[in-house]
């Protein structure tokens, strides 16, 4: 329990209705309010928490923080038992309140944040593995799952609200964690979900077209990412690990340097962290890691140029967190796969089946390029299955169609998560880019049937790419959400053809 005045320490507010109750919890979701809670009512992307102040009061809230002048006045008139505070920015206030309530656990963690369009998850997993390999306990927060001092739990959001993040941090610290590695989405940065966090190391992977349904323009998208590096998120990081082969990365590096941040640049063509002598197969790769500390040979079960970049980013970040070059090399070898990232499904079939999260045109292009390289030695074909998400950036749909058509021998066009949109309307948008490539294609809106069709079309030496959903275990339709796992569906399709599963996934 804490006094409201203690929770408000360092939190800017416009006005306050005098009262100083004991507070037993901080909540932003009225459904989680218990007697004695403080409820933070704030404007959100899909709803306005200020609509639920009365409900929170009925459930026992003793105090409300609101970002609405009208809601403050209404509650002051109709809910006189509540302590009320008006703030200008609900999420920034939530961050300060939660930090106070959970006793600032972030201050006891070396915090590393990864942002960028593609590669966040793999880079975070790699850095986490490197830190774990030198016996540092970690908290990992990202798209696939959360790790808290070695325990795994589901991930409802890539970057959770600050209140939930601080609770994870507090649990981790209690269990001995000294490091935190987290994916930082552009939405989280724009909305203030990570406001005020002091990142020791911030990593930028790349910037390609995505999330324009939210940000509107690429300039605003880049600006959201850049706020992690230039101090606009509260405090700039000590070290910025930045992909200098990326044009936006170079711009962000300049902004970070102006904020006094130490730059660790990486790339195949730029920076002080580079890769040479890259040898790649479907089973893994090896390359020479060149760093300011010297050179070493990296061996990993990950493969593809994108994973060279991810390994460079994670290696630079690990060195920034105090690991030696030898420790980085040993840690890189530990991680044998990241769920849904070039994850192979092996049932002793004479062709490869790969599940990958690629859901942007750039990610799909890189995935297909890797597949093309892997089949080139035995004259195999690339069969690409993908769809585009509904209620998301429409501008990338035709471009994804064009990329798939240009790189593949056969395209199977299907649904991803159509959400409220008509799957056939989404497919029509994709076809605008796919049809002019003159590549053979099939349209099958039912993703399960489409996966079966793609696998049935494969012959010896081919590679079948099941792109878009990766690690996801559900498919979001207009009227319901259903269990759906690309890996399991592919396993069933292979079994129907008489192939015997030898492992759920080797990647």
Question: Residues annotated as binding site?
Answer: 30, 116-122, 158-159, 185, 191, 193, 392, 416-419, 468, 472
Please, what's the b/e burial string for 327-344 (b: 16 or more CB within 10 A of its CB; e: otherwise)? bbbbbbeebebbbbbbbb
CB 348: neighbour CB atoms within 10 A? 9
Is-contact 127 181, C-beta < 8 A? yes
Give the three-class secondary structure for 100. helix
Known binding-site residues for meso-2,6-diaminopimelate equal 392, 416-419, 468, 472
Q: What angle, 0 to 180 degrees and rounded to 10, lies between the N-to-C axes of helices 325-334 and 120-133?
A: 120
The DSSP code sequence of 412-467 is EE--S--TTS-HHHHHHHHHHHHGGGT-EEEE-SSHHHHHHHHHHH--TT-EEEEE
Known binding-site residues for ATP equal 116-122
CB 198: neighbour CB atoms within 10 A? 14
State residue 68 phi and psi, 5-degree precision: -125, 120
Give the three-class secondary structure for 43. strand
Q: Which residues contact 487 (CB under 8 A, 6 or more apart)?
A: 343, 345, 355, 504, 505
Dihedral angle computed from the Cα positions of residues 173, 179, 185 and 191, in that order, rounded to the nearest 10 degrees: 40
Q: Which residues contact 181 (CB under 8 A, 6 or more apart)?
A: 112, 114, 124, 127, 128, 131, 138, 139, 140, 141, 142
Q: Which residues contact 379 (CB under 8 A, 6 or more apart)?
A: 461
Is-contact 96 120, C-beta < 8 A? no
Is-contact 411 437, C-beta < 8 A? no
């Amino acid at each position: 329990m804490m006094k409201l005045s203690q929770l408000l320490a360092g939190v800017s507010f416009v006005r306050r209705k005098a009262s100083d109750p004991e507070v037993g919890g901080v909540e932003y979701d009225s459904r989680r309010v218990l007697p004695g809670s403080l409820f933070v009512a704030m404007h959100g992307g899909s709803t306005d928490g200020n609509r639920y102040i009365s409900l929170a009061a009925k459930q026992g809230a003793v105090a409300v923080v609101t970002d609405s002048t009208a809601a403050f006045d209404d509650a002051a008139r109709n809910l006189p038992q509540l302590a009320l505070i008006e703030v200008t920015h609900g999420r920034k206030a939530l961050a300060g309140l939660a930090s106070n309530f959970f006793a600032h656990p972030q201050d006891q963690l070396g915090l590393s944040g990864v942002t960028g369009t593609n590669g966040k998850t793999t880079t975070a997993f790699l850095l986490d593995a490197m830190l774990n390999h030198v016996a540092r306990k970690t908290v990992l927060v990202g798209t696939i799952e959360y790790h808290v001092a070695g325990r795994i739990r589901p991930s409802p959001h890539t970057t959770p609200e600050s209140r939930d993040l601080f609770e994870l941090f507090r649990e981790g610290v209690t269990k001995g964690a000294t490091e935190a590695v987290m994916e930082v989405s552009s939405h989280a940065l724009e909305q203030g979900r990570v406001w005020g966090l002091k990142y020791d190391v911030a990593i930028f992977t790349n910037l390609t077209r995505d999330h324009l349904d939210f940000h509107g323009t690429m300039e605003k998208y880049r600006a959201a990412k850049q706020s992690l590096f230039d101090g606009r998120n509260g405090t700039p990081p000590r070290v910025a690990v930045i992909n200098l082969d990326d044009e936006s990365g170079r711009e962000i590096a300049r902004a970070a340097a102006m904020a006094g941040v130490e730059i660790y640049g990486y790339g195949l063509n730029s920076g002080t962290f580079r890769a040479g002598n890259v040898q790649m197969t479907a089973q893994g790769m090896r390359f020479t890691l060149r760093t300011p500390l010297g050179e070493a040979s990296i061996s990993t079960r990950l493969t593809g140029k994108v994973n060279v970049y991810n390994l460079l980013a994670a290696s630079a970040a690990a060195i920034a967190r105090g690991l030696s070059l030898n420790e980085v090399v040993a840690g890189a070898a530990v991680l044998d796969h990241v769920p849904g990232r070039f994850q192979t499904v092996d049932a002793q079939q004479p062709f490869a089946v790969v599940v990958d999260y690629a859901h942007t045109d750039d990610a799909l292009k890189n995935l297909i390029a890797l597949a093309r390289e892997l089949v080139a030695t035995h004259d195999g074909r690339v069969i690409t299955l993908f769809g585009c998400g509904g209620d998301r950036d429409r501008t990338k749909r035709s471009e994804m169609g064009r990329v798939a058509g240009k790189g593949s021998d056969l395209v199977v066009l299907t649904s991803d998560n159509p959400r409220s949109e008509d799957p056939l309307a989404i497919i029509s948008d994709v076809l605008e880019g796919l049809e002019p490539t003159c590549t053979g294609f099939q349209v099958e809106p039912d993703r399960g049937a489409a996966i079966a069709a793609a696998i049935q079309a494969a012959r010896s030496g081919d590679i079948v790419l099941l792109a878009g959903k990766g690690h996801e275990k559900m498919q979001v339709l207009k009227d319901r959400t259903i269990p759906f796992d690309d890996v399991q569906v592919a396993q069933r399709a292979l079994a129907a053809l008489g192939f015997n599963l030898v492992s759920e996934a080797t990647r």
